[in-house]
Amino acid sequence: MQPPVCGHFGGAQPGSEVPLRYGIISDIHGNLPALRVALAELRHQGIDELLCTGDLIGYGPWPNECVAEIAEAGAVCVAGNHDLIVVDRLPNARLSNHARFILEWTRTVLDPGAAAYLGTLPLQANVEPELRLAHGSLEDPERYIFRDEDAAQQLALLGELVPAAQTLLLGHTHKAMAYGMRTRELRIIPRAPMSLAGDRHLLNPGSVGQSRERRPWARMALLDLEDRQMTFFALDYDLDLCRKELIRHGLPPGACHAPPSPVSMGRRLISRLGRRALRSVRGS
Ligand SMILES: [Fe+2]
């Protein structure tokens, strides 16, 4: 195993009792080049603590190395569905044949230390009174939260479960998302800070290691609780290196990037235009 390169993040800054700047990552999926690019950018931006909403392994060819990086970074991390399945913590899991094939390979190469780390990850975590982390949703690590009505339901549930919590961090969809209880869906512009003041939010940083967009971005985010801002990032990384490593292990080279088909892109465009039209009708 290559040694981790990024090391532990620093904790609270001098003069502050609690960490205020958090790196947010999710769905790394065994893609080490993408993870290292994301961690290097977070180190450059300056964060106190790393938060990870799960799926460290699956799809990618470096499961042990990715677990080691996250452990070494001292991340607060919850279990994703792939993390649970590979150590037999999620019976009757729903997975495609493609994902299951790679997960079976992952099981054969996972070292005992990585398996032990994944075996003890919690399903959810609280960080400070106001942050709650889960993978897919508050009730089910396999549930996808894409739609506004589902995001609103999650925020209402968050209010019941953890009244002090203002922010719910999720992953699983591999799609960056920012949804405010009052403001609804917020437009994400990479590197443009987004205000979170005065509202409860659901935030998903998107996937570090298995982009489902046309361009294979490594996505992540920076949450600043002092300024109450979230900044999303979309970073280039060496996709070819990941493909070559997949081939070297006899795995499908497309596993680290799953761009949408033309049909699903058309569906998404229609749905986006529909949402925009609905908003303008509501606003008029
Ligand atoms: Fe995932």
Q: Any residues with CB less than 8 A from the CB of 255 and at least 6 apart, and which?
A: 59, 60, 98, 102, 210, 246
Going from the Cα of 174 to the center of ligand 1, the distance in angstroms, rounded, reads 6
Going from the Cα of 29 to the center of ligand 1, the distance in angstroms, rounded, reads 7
Q: What is the rounded average pLDDT of the residues 259-269?
A: 80
Q: What is the rounded average pLDDT of the residues 234-261?
A: 97
Sign of CA dihedral 9, 155, 55, 32: negative
Q: Any residues with CB less than 8 A from the CB of 277 and at least 6 apart, and which?
A: none
Paired tokens of 111: 């070292």
pLDDT at 8: 75
* pLDDT category of residue 7 using cuts at 50, 70 and 90: low
Domain count within the chain? 1
Does residue 10 sit within a domain?
Answer: no
| pLDDT above 60 for 2 | no
Cα dihedral 40, 42, 44, 46, rounded to 10, equals -150
CATH number, domain containing residue 109: 3.60.21.10
Going from the Cα of 270 to the center of ligand 1, the distance in angstroms, rounded, reads 25
| pLDDT above 80 for 142 | yes
| pLDDT above 50 for 1 | no
pLDDT at 72: 97
Going from the Cα of 284 to the center of ligand 1, the distance in angstroms, rounded, reads 38
Going from the Cα of 73 to the center of ligand 1, the distance in angstroms, rounded, reads 20
Task: Determine the structural domain holding residue 236 and report its residue range.
Answer: 21-283
Going from the Cα of 80 to the center of ligand 1, the distance in angstroms, rounded, reads 7
Going from the Cα of 88 to the center of ligand 1, the distance in angstroms, rounded, reads 17
Does residue 248 sit within a domain?
Answer: yes
* pLDDT category of residue 178 using cuts at 50, 70 and 90: very high
pLDDT, one tens digit per residue, over 60-99 is 999 999 999 999 999 999 999 999 999 999 998 989 999 9
Going from the Cα of 265 to the center of ligand 1, the distance in angstroms, rounded, reads 20
Mean pLDDT of the chain: 93
| pLDDT above 50 for 237 | yes
Q: Any residues with CB less than 8 A from the CB of 175 and at least 6 apart, and which?
A: 146, 204, 206, 207, 212
Does residue 12 sit within a domain?
Answer: no
Rounded Cα gap, residues 146 and 136, in angstroms: 10
Going from the Cα of 21 to the center of ligand 1, the distance in angstroms, rounded, reads 24
Going from the Cα of 16 to the center of ligand 1, the distance in angstroms, rounded, reads 34
Does residue 16 sit within a domain?
Answer: no
pLDDT, one tens digit per residue, over 107-119 is 999 999 999 999 9
Does residue 241 sit within a domain?
Answer: yes
Going from the Cα of 15 to the center of ligand 1, the distance in angstroms, rounded, reads 37
Q: What is the rounded average pLDDT of the residues 216-233?
A: 97
In the chain, the percentage of residues whose pLDDT exceeds 70 is 95
Does residue 8 sit within a domain?
Answer: no
| pLDDT above 90 for 244 | yes
pLDDT at 264: 75
Does residue 81 sit within a domain?
Answer: yes
Going from the Cα of 176 to the center of ligand 1, the distance in angstroms, rounded, reads 12
Q: What is the rounded average pLDDT of the residues 152-163?
A: 97
Q: Any residues with CB less than 8 A from the CB of 177 and at least 6 apart, and which?
A: 145, 146, 151, 170, 185, 188, 202, 203, 204, 206
Going from the Cα of 81 to the center of ligand 1, the distance in angstroms, rounded, reads 7
What's the alpha-carbon Rg for the chain, to the nearest Å? 18
Going from the Cα of 186 to the center of ligand 1, the distance in angstroms, rounded, reads 22
DSSP the chain: -PPPSS-----SPTT-SS--EEEEE---TT-HHHHHHHHHHHHHH--SEEEE-S--SSSSS-HHHHHHHHHHTT-EE---HHHHHHTT-STT----HHHHHHHHHHHHH--HHHHHHHHT--SEEEETTTEEEESS-SS-TT----SHHHHHHHHHHHHHH-TT--EEE--SS-S-EEEETTTEE----TT--EE-TTS-EEEE---SS-B-SSS--EEEEEEETTTTEEEEEEE---HHHHHHHHHHTT--GGGGB-PPPHHHHHHHHHHHHHHHHHHHHHH-
Going from the Cα of 98 to the center of ligand 1, the distance in angstroms, rounded, reads 13
| pLDDT above 80 for 238 | yes
Choose between 71 and 284: higher pLDDT: 71
In the chain, the percentage of residues whose pLDDT exceeds 90 is 83
Does residue 215 sit within a domain?
Answer: yes
Q: What is the rounded average pLDDT of the residues 254-260?
A: 96
| pLDDT above 90 for 156 | yes
Going from the Cα of 5 to the center of ligand 1, the distance in angstroms, rounded, reads 23
Going from the Cα of 7 to the center of ligand 1, the distance in angstroms, rounded, reads 24
Sign of CA dihedral 278, 279, 282, 283: negative
pLDDT at 284: 59
Could you give the strand order of the β-sheet that contains 76-77, starting from the edge strand earlier in sequence?
76-77, 49-52, 21-25, 218-224, 229-235, 194-195
